[in-house]
Amino acid sequence: MSAAEATPPLVLSGVRIADFSRLLPGPWCTQMLADLGAEVIKIEQPGVGDFGRHNTPSYKRDGVYYNSVNRNKRSIALDLGRDDGREVAHRLFGWADVVVESFRVGVAAKLGVDYAAAKGINKSVIYCSLTGFGQDGPLAPIPGHDLVIQAATGLMGVALDQEPVPPPPEFQTGDYAAAAMAAIGILAAIMRRQQTGEGCFLDLSLYDSVVAMSNIAMTGAMARLAGHSGKPKMEVWGGNPRYNTYLTRDERPIAVSLLEKKIWDEFCHLTGHDELIHEEEDWADRHTSHGERAGLYRDAISKYCAGHTRDELMEKLTAIGVPVCPIYTPDEALASEHMAVRGLVEFVDHPAEGRIPQLVNPLAKAGLTDTRRRPAPGLGENGDEVLAELDYSEEERERLRETGVIES
């Protein structure tokens, strides 16, 4: 038996996806599905393409970010503002099992590529619309940028008593929450279609996805909504000295997570602060501010960290399983030993960019993802072959190229 025969097929082999999305949520979602074996055709605007191509920093041609969310796809540059372009899109609807788009509310309908158009051509199509705030509601017209999503969901407002004007978040929670929810929704819809033969419309928003994942941030508000005080609040936003950040002797930041009583007691024994062990502490104290004891805890942790270098602290505390970690820069994280052991970065050869790194799908270890890692496509580089697969003749393809309906 050959190696190819011995390798089981990827779970989404044979699934076809027409991807009209751009920037982050849609492309990350469809890259995940492509990693799982789906065939993804990326439909882009001629001349500009996915706006993510232009986000800095860049390799030789396109943005690093663009290359990180568009592997294992093919690209066609298609003018949806023209009748001939829409006709190509409609053929893609007939070809596709799944359609993903991230237009602002109403734009897909204006372009003739909305769910109604897709379902009219392919009644079992699974159509996923990714927007900032959903298809309805007072905020629906607002473009879905992550910052405003995190603001409107309450996620950024959990610690306004400590920080009246929060800085922009360092992680694009809304984008990735929606991307992950879209991937889950599409997989569930595919399974249901196998059972019933029916397609569906997925109205997925960044807003809804963040709210669904904000159960910790919403604990106080939900308690008050049910008629309770919401106090003491679950404290994971800087008010808990045992779940916080500190500086070491060499002025390098570290993250300290001493939540459980057992871990806290071990830390106290190690640092000679047995007097800070509180025998009455129980599980309800884990995520609180620790009240009047907070200042003592903070002072002891701060002084201990300030008395050691970062590397000294890591050596001592990792040896006994205390969760303290350096706050790495992205460069340090990529170069770390743990990153290497886990195999989370690999290099691929890109025809335009040269040898570039990729962040490895964490499902690869289970044998669930494509290991070929085809690099992100150039703008429209697969246009002619896609048209041929949609049964356009050579003469028709030439006409579409000459009239600028497609760019290749």
Q: Are residues 82 and 185 in the same domain?
A: yes
Cβ-based neighbours of 126, under 8 Å, separated by 6 or more: 97, 98, 99, 186, 189, 190, 193, 199, 200, 202
Domain end, chosen from 334, 368, 397, is at 334
pLDDT tens-digit series, residues 152-165: 999 999 989 888 99
The pLDDT of residue 3: 47
pLDDT tens-digit series, residues 381-408: 999 999 999 999 999 999 999 999 999 7
Does residue 176 sit within a domain?
yes
Does residue 229 sit within a domain?
no
Does residue 233 sit within a domain?
no
Domain end, chosen from 334, 358, 377, is at 334
Q: Are residues 301 and 256 in the same domain?
A: yes
pLDDT > 60? residue 235: yes
Does residue 158 sit within a domain?
yes
Q: Are residues 75 and 167 in the same domain?
A: yes
Domain count across the chain? 2
pLDDT class of 1 with cuts at 50, 70, 90: very low
Q: What is the CATH number of the domain that holds 295?
A: 3.30.1540.10
Q: Are residues 11 and 137 in the same domain?
A: yes
Q: Are residues 89 and 199 in the same domain?
A: yes
H-helix segments, 154-247:
173-196, 206-212, 219-225
Q: Are residues 104 and 179 in the same domain?
A: yes
Q: What is the pTM of this model?
A: 0.94
Distance CA 321, CA 63 (A): 39
pLDDT tens-digit series, residues 100-134: 999 999 999 999 999 999 999 999 999 999 999 99
Q: Are residues 8 and 95 in the same domain?
A: yes
Q: What is the CATH number of the domain that holds 396?
A: 3.40.50.10540
Q: Mean of the pLDDT values across residues 32-59? A: 97
Q: Are residues 48 and 193 in the same domain?
A: yes
pLDDT tens-digit series, residues 128-182: 999 999 999 999 999 999 999 999 999 999 989 888 999 999 999 999 999 999 9
Does residue 84 sit within a domain?
yes
Provide the domain limits for residue 315.
Answer: 243-334
C-alpha distance across the termini of the chain, in Å: 40
Q: Are residues 69 and 171 in the same domain?
A: yes
Domain end, chosen from 312, 334, 356, is at 334
pLDDT tens-digit series, residues 360-379: 999 999 999 988 779 999 99
